[in-house]
Chains A and B, each alone.
Chain A
Amino acid sequence: AQSVSQHNHHVILSEAASLELGCNYSYGGTVNLFWYVQYPGQHLQLLLKYFSGDPLVKGIKGFEAEFIKSKFSFNLRKPSVQWSDTAEYFCAVKTGSARQLTFGSGTQLTVLP
């Protein structure tokens, strides 16, 4: 069964700091990978997605993620975070013949002004 691990449960950064959130999945075949963001009190919104091709994927709001197949990872990065990036971030994977997404447990990011 497909599974996703997000090892950072809560990350606290100051504004302008760089961000990297870890995501690892457990499947050796073809994967579709996603990062979603949930701002306080709101629903999940898509940040970026990877299907194939260039392993460096750029999303909205300056976020990017790198697919490293050998490490089964899809880490989310942003060079300089803002207070408005405070939110919960979820990695999700769809693998092989599965017909639905599996989500990680989420990482709460708090950016201090």
Chain B
Amino acid sequence: NAGVTQTPKFQVLKTGQSMTLQCAQDMNHNSMYWYRQDPGMGLRLIYYSASEGTTDKGEVPNGYNVSRLNKREFSLRLESAAPSQTSVYFCASSEGNVGGRYTEAFFGQGTRLTVV
């Protein structure tokens, strides 16, 4: 039972390079999320997709784009990486709102990205 799978686990980029972080979930969840984690700032939402075919900006969307390829996959793209995007990135998925209750999010293992 894989849950939420992210690739790659580690990446070093030069300023200005682009890359795509991949995320896939096998739990048939409707909602998927991308967070970044920085020391002392907790997790901040970059983008989310409440359901297949929809995406919305979160708290810190600048410099990122996302694609909800299908129900399973939700990718995050950095078009022109900057040192400020050095962070640990987590993908998560959840069933979303079920009967008025927000079901918990399940997280991937994270991608440690360094931009030099």
Contact = CB atoms under 8 A, between A and B. Distances in A.
Given A43-B109, A90-B42, A90-B43, A100 B101 contact: no
Given A43-B90, A43-B110, A101 B42 contact: no
Interface residues of A, number: 22
Interface on chain B toward A: helix, strand, loop, or mixed SS?
A: strand
A104 B96 CA distance: 20
Given A51-B102, A90-B43, 7 more contacts: A43-B90, A46-B104, A90-B42, A99-B50, A100-B48, A100-B58, A105-B42
Nearest to B42: A105
B4 to A, nearest CB: 8
B48 A99 contact: yes
Contacts of A106: 40, 42
A94 B90 CA distance: 18
Contacts of B41: 105
Interface residues of B, number: 26
Interface in B40-99: 40-45, 48, 50, 56, 58, 90, 92, 96-97
Interface in A38-86: 42-46, 49, 51-52
B43 A103 contact: yes
Nearest to A33: B102
A7 interface: no
Contacts of A105: 40-42
